[in-house]
Homo-oligomer: A and B are copies of this chain.
Amino acid sequence: MNQTHPDMPTPAPGADRLPPLPVTVDTVILTVLEGRLQVVLVKRLDEPFAGQWALPGGFVHPTESLESAARRELEEATGAGDVYLEQLYTFGAPDRDTRGRVVSVAYFALVAADRCPLTPHRLEAEAHWFWVKQLPTMAFDHLDMLQVALQRVRTKLEYTTLGFQLMPETFTLQELQKTYEIILDRELDKRNFRRRLKLLDLVEAVGAKRAEGPGRPAELYRFKDVDFFHLREKGFFLPF
Protein backbone atom coordinates (compact mmCIF):
# COMPACT_ATOMS: atom_id res chain seq x y z
CA MET A 1 0.00 0.00 0.00
CA ASN A 2 2.82 2.34 0.84
CA GLN A 3 5.20 1.38 -1.87
CA THR A 4 6.72 4.01 -4.08
CA HIS A 5 7.01 3.99 -7.82
CA PRO A 6 10.57 4.80 -8.74
CA ASP A 7 9.90 4.57 -12.44
CA MET A 8 6.87 6.77 -12.34
CA PRO A 9 7.51 9.31 -15.09
CA THR A 10 6.35 12.70 -13.87
CA PRO A 11 3.63 12.99 -11.30
CA ALA A 12 3.90 13.62 -7.65
CA PRO A 13 7.14 12.37 -6.15
CA GLY A 14 5.78 12.97 -2.68
CA ALA A 15 2.23 11.85 -3.26
CA ASP A 16 3.03 8.20 -3.22
CA ARG A 17 1.06 6.78 -0.37
CA LEU A 18 -1.31 5.12 -2.76
CA PRO A 19 -0.97 3.95 -6.32
CA PRO A 20 -1.81 6.59 -8.86
CA LEU A 21 -4.74 5.95 -11.15
CA PRO A 22 -5.00 6.44 -14.87
CA VAL A 23 -7.01 9.59 -15.59
CA THR A 24 -8.81 10.18 -18.83
CA VAL A 25 -11.09 12.81 -20.24
CA ASP A 26 -14.10 12.03 -22.41
CA THR A 27 -15.86 14.75 -24.31
CA VAL A 28 -19.49 14.90 -25.28
CA ILE A 29 -19.41 17.02 -28.43
CA LEU A 30 -22.85 18.26 -29.38
CA THR A 31 -24.12 20.20 -32.34
CA VAL A 32 -27.34 20.81 -34.17
CA LEU A 33 -26.97 19.46 -37.67
CA GLU A 34 -29.64 18.67 -40.22
CA GLY A 35 -32.32 19.63 -37.75
CA ARG A 36 -31.16 17.15 -35.15
CA LEU A 37 -29.13 17.23 -31.97
CA GLN A 38 -26.07 15.17 -32.75
CA VAL A 39 -23.08 13.86 -30.85
CA VAL A 40 -19.67 12.74 -32.05
CA LEU A 41 -18.80 9.10 -31.42
CA VAL A 42 -15.65 7.32 -32.51
CA LYS A 43 -15.25 3.66 -33.25
CA ARG A 44 -12.91 1.95 -30.85
CA LEU A 45 -10.05 0.02 -32.38
CA ASP A 46 -8.69 -1.55 -29.21
CA GLU A 47 -10.04 -3.73 -26.48
CA PRO A 48 -12.05 -3.42 -24.44
CA PHE A 49 -15.16 -2.68 -26.45
CA ALA A 50 -13.22 -2.89 -29.72
CA GLY A 51 -15.56 -2.07 -32.60
CA GLN A 52 -18.02 -0.28 -30.36
CA TRP A 53 -18.74 3.42 -30.40
CA ALA A 54 -17.40 5.68 -27.71
CA LEU A 55 -17.04 9.33 -26.86
CA PRO A 56 -13.78 10.88 -28.04
CA GLY A 57 -11.40 10.74 -25.14
CA GLY A 58 -7.97 9.90 -23.97
CA PHE A 59 -5.44 10.07 -21.23
CA VAL A 60 -4.53 13.30 -19.55
CA HIS A 61 -0.92 14.24 -20.20
CA PRO A 62 1.13 14.97 -17.11
CA THR A 63 1.64 18.62 -17.93
CA GLU A 64 -1.74 19.66 -19.31
CA SER A 65 -4.83 20.72 -17.41
CA LEU A 66 -7.98 18.65 -17.59
CA GLU A 67 -9.62 21.23 -19.78
CA SER A 68 -6.64 21.31 -22.12
CA ALA A 69 -6.88 17.58 -22.45
CA ALA A 70 -10.56 17.82 -23.25
CA ARG A 71 -9.88 20.58 -25.76
CA ARG A 72 -7.18 18.50 -27.37
CA GLU A 73 -9.61 15.62 -27.78
CA LEU A 74 -12.14 18.03 -29.18
CA GLU A 75 -9.72 19.35 -31.78
CA GLU A 76 -8.54 15.89 -32.71
CA ALA A 77 -12.09 14.75 -33.27
CA THR A 78 -13.56 17.80 -35.00
CA GLY A 79 -10.82 20.24 -35.93
CA ALA A 80 -12.59 23.00 -34.01
CA GLY A 81 -10.87 24.16 -30.87
CA ASP A 82 -12.31 27.55 -30.03
CA VAL A 83 -15.70 26.43 -28.79
CA TYR A 84 -17.65 26.26 -25.58
CA LEU A 85 -16.36 23.58 -23.24
CA GLU A 86 -17.53 22.80 -19.74
CA GLN A 87 -16.67 20.15 -17.21
CA LEU A 88 -19.58 17.83 -16.58
CA TYR A 89 -18.90 15.20 -13.99
CA THR A 90 -16.23 12.71 -13.03
CA PHE A 91 -16.87 9.01 -13.36
CA GLY A 92 -14.82 6.74 -11.18
CA ALA A 93 -16.65 3.49 -10.49
CA PRO A 94 -13.96 0.86 -9.87
CA ASP A 95 -15.35 -1.42 -12.55
CA ARG A 96 -16.15 1.12 -15.22
CA ASP A 97 -13.19 0.01 -17.32
CA THR A 98 -12.66 -3.72 -17.60
CA ARG A 99 -8.91 -3.21 -17.87
CA GLY A 100 -8.75 -1.92 -14.33
CA ARG A 101 -9.26 1.27 -12.48
CA VAL A 102 -9.62 4.34 -14.67
CA VAL A 103 -11.04 7.65 -13.57
CA SER A 104 -12.61 9.72 -16.30
CA VAL A 105 -13.50 13.39 -16.23
CA ALA A 106 -16.34 14.05 -18.64
CA TYR A 107 -16.65 17.35 -20.50
CA PHE A 108 -19.19 18.61 -22.92
CA ALA A 109 -18.70 20.92 -25.86
CA LEU A 110 -21.13 22.82 -28.01
CA VAL A 111 -19.97 23.51 -31.52
CA ALA A 112 -21.80 25.73 -33.96
CA ALA A 113 -22.78 23.96 -37.13
CA ASP A 114 -21.11 26.68 -39.19
CA ARG A 115 -17.89 26.73 -37.16
CA CYS A 116 -17.57 23.03 -37.63
CA PRO A 117 -17.68 22.48 -41.37
CA LEU A 118 -17.18 18.80 -40.80
CA THR A 119 -19.87 16.46 -41.81
CA PRO A 120 -19.49 12.87 -40.74
CA HIS A 121 -17.13 11.85 -43.54
CA ARG A 122 -14.75 14.74 -42.84
CA LEU A 123 -13.97 13.28 -39.46
CA GLU A 124 -11.44 10.50 -39.36
CA ALA A 125 -12.77 7.28 -40.76
CA GLU A 126 -14.07 5.94 -37.49
CA ALA A 127 -15.80 9.06 -36.21
CA HIS A 128 -19.39 10.00 -36.93
CA TRP A 129 -22.15 12.28 -35.85
CA PHE A 130 -25.04 10.43 -34.29
CA TRP A 131 -28.53 11.66 -33.64
CA VAL A 132 -28.95 11.49 -29.87
CA LYS A 133 -32.29 9.77 -30.34
CA GLN A 134 -30.84 6.96 -32.37
CA LEU A 135 -27.63 5.80 -30.82
CA PRO A 136 -25.58 2.66 -31.23
CA THR A 137 -24.49 0.67 -28.21
CA MET A 138 -21.85 2.69 -26.49
CA ALA A 139 -18.69 1.60 -24.71
CA PHE A 140 -18.03 1.97 -20.98
CA ASP A 141 -20.41 4.31 -19.16
CA HIS A 142 -20.42 6.73 -22.05
CA LEU A 143 -24.18 6.64 -22.36
CA ASP A 144 -24.40 7.93 -18.80
CA MET A 145 -22.05 10.73 -19.72
CA LEU A 146 -24.17 11.65 -22.70
CA GLN A 147 -27.27 11.62 -20.53
CA VAL A 148 -25.69 13.97 -18.03
CA ALA A 149 -24.57 16.23 -20.86
CA LEU A 150 -28.04 16.40 -22.35
CA GLN A 151 -29.59 17.25 -19.04
CA ARG A 152 -26.99 19.93 -18.37
CA VAL A 153 -27.39 21.50 -21.80
CA ARG A 154 -31.16 21.53 -21.57
CA THR A 155 -31.13 23.08 -18.12
CA LYS A 156 -28.57 25.74 -18.90
CA LEU A 157 -30.21 26.59 -22.19
CA GLU A 158 -33.17 27.95 -20.25
CA TYR A 159 -31.36 30.40 -18.02
CA THR A 160 -28.05 31.15 -19.73
CA THR A 161 -26.77 32.42 -23.03
CA LEU A 162 -25.49 28.94 -23.82
CA GLY A 163 -27.58 28.80 -26.96
CA PHE A 164 -25.43 31.53 -28.54
CA GLN A 165 -22.70 28.96 -28.98
CA LEU A 166 -24.61 27.08 -31.59
CA MET A 167 -25.55 29.95 -33.86
CA PRO A 168 -23.65 31.54 -36.75
CA GLU A 169 -22.77 35.23 -36.70
CA THR A 170 -26.17 36.24 -38.02
CA PHE A 171 -29.34 34.26 -38.00
CA THR A 172 -33.08 34.61 -38.14
CA LEU A 173 -35.22 34.34 -35.06
CA GLN A 174 -36.89 31.33 -36.57
CA GLU A 175 -33.53 29.57 -36.83
CA LEU A 176 -32.71 30.45 -33.25
CA GLN A 177 -36.04 29.15 -32.05
CA LYS A 178 -35.62 25.97 -34.07
CA THR A 179 -32.23 25.37 -32.45
CA TYR A 180 -33.77 25.74 -29.01
CA GLU A 181 -36.59 23.39 -29.94
CA ILE A 182 -34.22 20.77 -31.22
CA ILE A 183 -32.12 20.82 -28.07
CA LEU A 184 -35.04 20.97 -25.66
CA ASP A 185 -36.96 18.43 -27.69
CA ARG A 186 -40.21 20.35 -27.47
CA GLU A 187 -41.98 23.05 -29.41
CA LEU A 188 -41.90 26.66 -28.31
CA ASP A 189 -44.38 29.43 -28.95
CA LYS A 190 -43.07 31.90 -31.49
CA ARG A 191 -44.46 35.00 -29.83
CA ASN A 192 -43.50 34.02 -26.31
CA PHE A 193 -40.01 33.12 -27.48
CA ARG A 194 -39.56 36.53 -29.09
CA ARG A 195 -41.07 38.36 -26.17
CA ARG A 196 -38.45 36.83 -23.92
CA LEU A 197 -35.59 37.66 -26.27
CA LYS A 198 -36.76 41.25 -26.25
CA LEU A 199 -37.18 41.36 -22.49
CA LEU A 200 -33.65 40.08 -21.96
CA ASP A 201 -32.32 42.33 -24.69
CA LEU A 202 -30.23 39.55 -26.15
CA VAL A 203 -30.36 40.17 -29.89
CA GLU A 204 -30.41 43.07 -32.33
CA ALA A 205 -31.42 43.25 -35.95
CA VAL A 206 -28.52 43.73 -38.33
CA GLY A 207 -30.78 45.52 -40.80
CA ALA A 208 -30.72 42.92 -43.52
CA LYS A 209 -33.23 40.33 -44.56
CA ARG A 210 -32.96 36.85 -45.88
CA ALA A 211 -35.41 35.39 -48.33
CA GLU A 212 -35.51 31.63 -48.41
CA GLY A 213 -37.92 30.48 -51.08
CA PRO A 214 -41.42 31.89 -50.94
CA GLY A 215 -42.81 33.77 -47.97
CA ARG A 216 -41.96 37.01 -46.29
CA PRO A 217 -38.19 37.37 -45.84
CA ALA A 218 -36.86 37.13 -42.33
CA GLU A 219 -34.94 39.80 -40.45
CA LEU A 220 -31.37 38.85 -39.67
CA TYR A 221 -30.19 39.23 -36.09
CA ARG A 222 -26.97 38.95 -34.14
CA PHE A 223 -26.34 38.58 -30.44
CA LYS A 224 -25.76 41.79 -28.54
CA ASP A 225 -23.03 42.37 -26.04
CA VAL A 226 -24.99 41.30 -23.04
CA ASP A 227 -25.58 43.48 -20.03
CA PHE A 228 -24.70 41.04 -17.29
CA PHE A 229 -26.46 42.95 -14.55
CA HIS A 230 -29.62 43.41 -16.53
CA LEU A 231 -29.65 39.69 -17.25
CA ARG A 232 -29.05 38.80 -13.64
CA GLU A 233 -32.03 40.86 -12.57
CA LYS A 234 -34.11 38.74 -14.88
CA GLY A 235 -32.69 35.49 -13.54
CA PHE A 236 -30.53 34.94 -16.59
CA PHE A 237 -26.81 34.26 -16.62
CA LEU A 238 -23.75 33.62 -18.70
CA PRO A 239 -23.06 29.93 -19.18
CA PHE A 240 -20.06 29.66 -16.89
User: Is A14 a contact partner of B100 (Cβ separation < 8 A)?
Assistant: yes
How many copies of the chain does the oligomer comprise? Answer: 2
Is the CB–CB distance between B15 and A19 below 8 Å?
A: no
A21 in complex: contacting residue of B14, B62, B87, CB < 8 Å: B62
A8, B14: Cβ atoms under 8 Å? Answer: no
Greatest chain B CB density within 10 A among A21, A60, A65 is at A21
Least CB separation from A96: chain B residue: B65
Interface magnitude class on chain A: 35 or more
A105 touches B92 (CB 8 A): yes
Proximity bits, A3-25, B CB within 8 Å = 1, else 0: 10101111111111111111110
Whether the Cβ atoms of B14 and A101 lie closer than 8 Å is: no
Q: Which of A89-110 contact B (CB under 8 A)?
A: 89-90, 92-94, 97, 99-103, 105
Q: Is A236 an interface residue (CB 8 A)?
A: no
Instruction: Select A60's contact among B11, B13, B24, B92, beta carbons within 8 Å.
Output: B92
Cα separation A48 to B14 with both chains bound (whole Å): 9
> Are A66 and B92 in contact, with the CB atoms below 8 A?
yes
Cα A51 to Cα B201 with chains together (Å) = 51
Majority DSSP secondary structure for residues of A touching B? loop
In whole Å, how far is A7's beta carbon from the nearest beta carbon of chain B? 7
Answer whether residue A210 sits at the interface, using C-beta atoms and an 8 A cutoff.
no
| A9 B15 Cβ-Cβ under 8 A | no
Asked whether A225 is an interface residue with its Cβ less than 8 Å from the other chain, the reply is: no
A100 touches B12 (CB 8 A): yes
Docked Cα-Cα span, A64 to B21, in Å, equals 12
Alpha-carbon gap, A220 to B22, bound state (A): 51
A61 at the interface (CB under 8 A from B): yes
Is A164 part of the binding interface, using a Cβ–Cβ cutoff of 8 Å?
A: no
Query: Which of A20, A23, A92, A100 has most B Cβ within 10 Å?
Result: A20
Query: How far apart sit A12 and B96, CA to CA, in the bound complex (Å)?
Result: 11
- Given A62-B94, A65-B94, A99-B12, also A21-B21 (CB < 8 A): yes
Assembled-state Cα–Cα distance A10/B101 (Å) = 7
B15 touches A11 (CB 8 A): no
Q: Out of B64, B87, B90, which one reaches A66, CB within 8 Å? A: B90
